[in-house]
């Protein structure tokens, strides 16, 4: 199950860090950030609670880059 989210982040290195952080969240199988399109694609584990996982993803991303926005 893959979903796209609009994001707002200023620097490419921060985006790379957010991508790394998202991959570390449990319930996430894979994550790719397309910095230029300002888009985060998250692939969820089977049966994961998407809402809960995304809350954790936002938290993890805010931790590495306080200045980012993720539209869930």
Partner 1 sequence: MTKKQKKMTGRIVVAGMLFIALQFAPLEGAWKLGASLGIYLIVAYDVLIKSAKGILAGQLLDENFLMAVASLGAFALGVCDGSNDFNEAIAVILFYQTGELFQSCAVSKSRRSITALMDIRPDYAHVERDGQLSTVSPDDVPIGSIIVVQPGEKVPLDGIAEQSDSALDTSALTGESVPRAVHPGEEVMSGCINMRSPLRIRTTREFGESTVTKILQLMQEATSRKSKSEQFITKFARIYTPIVCGAALLLALLPPVVLLVMGHPAEWTTWLYRALIFLVISCPCALVLSIPLSFFAGIGGAGRAGILIKGSHFMETLAQAQVAVFDKTGTLTRGVFEVVAAHHSPYSLQDLLQLAAAAESSSSHPIGTSLRQACQQALPLSDIANTQELQGLGVIATVKNLRVAVGNEKLMEQEGAEALPCHCVGTIVHIAIDHRYAGHILISDSLKETSARALAELKAMGIRKTVMLTGDNQRTAEAVACELALDEVHCELLPAHKVAEVEQLMRSNIGHLFFVGDGVNDAPVLARADVGIAMGGLGSDAAIEAADVVIMDDDPARIPLAMRIARKCMRIVRQNITFALTAKFTCLILGALGLANMWFAIFADAGVLILCVLNSIRAMYGK
In the complex, the residues that contact partner 1 under the rule CB under 8 A are 10-14, 16, 32, 34-39, 41, 62-67
Residue 45: CB minimum distance to partner 1, A: 19
Nearest CB to partner 1, comparing residues 13 and 45? 13
Sheet architecture: strand order including 39-44: 28-34, 39-44, 2-8, 69-70
Nearest CB to partner 1, comparing residues 54 and 68? 68
What distance in Å separates the CA atoms of residue 52 and residue 13, rounded to the nearest whole number? Answer: 26
What distance in Å separates the CA atoms of residue 23 and residue 42, rounded to the nearest whole number? Answer: 9
Residue 68: CB minimum distance to partner 1, A: 11
């Amino acid at each position: 199950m893959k979903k796209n989210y609009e994001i707002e982040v200023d620097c490419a290195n921060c985006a790379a860090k957010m991508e790394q952080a998202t991959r570390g969240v449990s319930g996430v199988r894979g994550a790719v950030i397309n910095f230029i399109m300002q888009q985060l694609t998250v692939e969820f584990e089977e049966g994961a609670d998407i809402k809960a996982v995304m809350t954790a993803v936002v938290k993890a991303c805010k931790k590495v880059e306080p200045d980012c926005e993720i539209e869930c």
